[in-house]
Amino acid sequence: MSVGTGRDDGDLLQVQDVIMRFGGIVALAGVSFNVGRRQICGLIGPNGSGKTTLFNCISGIYRHGSGDIRFEGRSLSGLARHRMAGLGIGRTFQNVALFNSMTVRDNMLVGAHHLAHSGFVAAMLRLPATRREEAAMQATLDELLDLLDLRAVAERQVSSLPFGTRKRVELARALIGRPKLLLLDEPAGGLNHTEVEELERLLRQIRAHFDLSILLVEHHMNLVMRVSDSVVALEFGLKIADGTPEAVQREPEVIRAYLGETEAVHAA
Partner 1 sequence: MGRTLLRHWPLLFLAFAAVVPTVALSNYQLFQLTMVAVYAVAILGLNIVTGFNGQISLGHGAFYAVGAYVTAIMMDKWGVPYWATLPVSALICACTGFLVGLPALRLGGLYLALTTFALAVATPQLLKYKLFEGWTGGVQGIVIDKPDPPFGLPINADQWLYLFSLAVAAVMFLLAANLVRGRIGRAMMAVRDQPTAAEAMGIDLAMFKTRTFAVSAMLTGIAGSLGAIAIQFVAPDSFAVFLSITLFVGLVVGGVASIGGTIFGAFFIEFVPNLAEQVSKAAPGAVYGIILIAFLFLMPGGLAGALRKLLRLA
Interacting residue ranges for partner 1, rule: CB under 8 A: 59, 61, 80-86, 90-91, 93, 97-102, 106, 109-111, 113-114, 116, 118-120, 123-126, 130, 133-134, 173, 177
Contacts for 224 with CB less than 8 Å, ≥ 6 apart = 42, 44, 216, 218, 231, 245
Calpha distance 142→176 (Å, rounded)? 10
Minimum CB distance to partner 1, residue 222 (Å):
28
Q: Count Cα atoms within 13 angstroms, Cβ side, for 40.
A: 22
- Chain-centre distance for alpha carbon 41: 10
Calpha distance 114→96 (Å, rounded)? 20
Compare residues 16 and 59 and give the one whose CB is closer to partner 1. 59
Find, among 208, 210, 187, 207, the residue nearest to 199 by Cα: 187
Compare residues 107 and 230 and give the one whose CB is closer to partner 1. 107
Minimum CB distance to partner 1, residue 121 (Å):
9
Compare residues 122 and 221 and give the one whose CB is closer to partner 1. 122
Minimum CB distance to partner 1, residue 109 (Å):
6
Compare residues 111 and 245 and give the one whose CB is closer to partner 1. 111
Minimum CB distance to partner 1, residue 111 (Å):
5
